[in-house]
Amino acid sequence: MLIHNKNFNIQQIADSGQCFRMNQLEANRYCLIALGRYLELIQREEAVIELSCSEAEYEELWKDYFDLEYDYHHLVETLRTGKDSFLQSAAEYGKGIRILRQDFFEMMISFIISQNKNIPSIKSSVEALCRRYGTPIIAAVGKEDSYYAFPTPQQLARATKEELRELKVGYRDEYILQASRAVADGLLDLSHIQSCSYEEASKALRQIHGIGEKVANCICLYGLHHIEVFPIDVWIKRILEEVYRNEFDLQLYEGQAGIIQQYMFYYMRSMKEKV
DNA sequence: ACCCAGGCCTGGA
DNA sequence: TCCAGGCATGGG
């Protein structure tokens, strides 16, 4: 089915560092494994996207997943006509980015893995976890066993440190186990966390070994859709120092700082690639 | 070989 | 409270 939206660009979302299981198949064509399903996306035109799903499935799942009720256009226009020249450029450059509403547990584990790794490396570790512990997804005839859902907390909680080391997650093995067991054992109650404020959710998450401020912020932003949260990684830190001389005023963007952060991150990384 | 990557933990000032 | 060093691993 077709989606019409000026602020929905698959390539930009896939390369924005918020999701690790969206991959390019060919020009303008991507695949995604999320919500226990396999989806293909084609960028037909700048504002036209084709999804390989029924209208019913779109209404039930993907409309929410891609945050299609939110008006990104308004924010982009505000930034493009605003006073901040870096954000003018960043918003124009990444205007097709949206903050996905991804699975909480998947974000928890993915961002625990993300620490001190680059994005390709994170993706390969996440994929390895899915293949080893996740449930196969039947995507099409002849493609059985090609795709795997992200493991459930129960599936991952049964892993051992030795197995995880084989998947090249390094010293994060214990972090992954503790986090998975905390959720599987109910110490970390998803439905409760989902009803919490950002501050409460972040505090609860940081109780887990291997989840510090930055990783907790990413989980809150991408897994709980607290779009007011502004995660600071090495790239954002560099921007705050080099572009803003540590005088960036977060208050100006209260309530949407997470989206601003995403435009900054994507723009800065793209600049470096072109050098 | 050296440095960096969507950092965090520990131990010592 | 703040900082240094260590940490597994892969890629440039």
The model's pLDDT over A24-67, given as tens digits with 9 standing for 90+, comes to: 999 999 999 999 999 999 999 999 999 999 999 999 999 999 99
| Cα four-point dihedral sign A267, A270, A271, A272 | positive
For residue range A109-119, list pLDDT tens digits in order: 999 999 999 99
Please state, in angstroms and rounded to a whole number, the distance separating the CA atoms of residues A80 and A86: 10
pLDDT of residue A28: 97
* Inter-residue contact A41 to A29 (CB < 8 Å): yes
Q: A271 CA, B4 C1': separation in Å?
A: 17
Kindly report, as residue ranges, where domains of CATH 1.10.340.30 are found in chain A.
Answer: 104-223
Q: Which amino acid is at A99?
A: I
Which parts of chain A sit beneath pLDDT 70?
A: 143-145, 274-275
Q: Is domain A1-101+233-275 given the CATH code 3.40.50.10540 in the classification?
A: no
Contacts of A57 (CB under 8 A, 6+ apart): A37
Kindly report, as residue ranges, where domains of CATH 3.30.310.260 are found in chain A.
Answer: 1-101+233-275
CA atoms within 13 A on the CB side of A15: 17
Q: Which of A117, A214, A272, A274 is the catalytic position?
A: A214
Contacts of A267 (CB under 8 A, 6+ apart): A86, A89, A90, A93, A94
Please state, in angstroms and rounded to a whole number, the distance separating the CA atoms of residues A187 and A100: 26
H helix runs in A66-223, sequence order:
72-80, 85-93, 104-114, 119-133, 153-157, 161-166, 173-184, 190-195, 198-205, 213-218
**A18 beta carbon to strand B: under 7 Å:** yes
Whole-number Cα distances in Å, A100 to A135, A165, A235: 22, 30, 20
Q: Please give the structure tokens belonging to residue A249.
A: 């005023």
Query: For A104-223, which CATH class?
Result: mainly alpha
Q: A239 CA, C11 C1': separation in Å?
A: 23
**A142 beta carbon to strand C: under 7 Å:** no
pTM over 0.85: yes
Q: A39 CA, B6 C1': separation in Å?
A: 25
Helix (H) or strand (E) holding A265: helix A257-273
Q: For residue A31, what are the β-bridge partners?
A: A23, A40
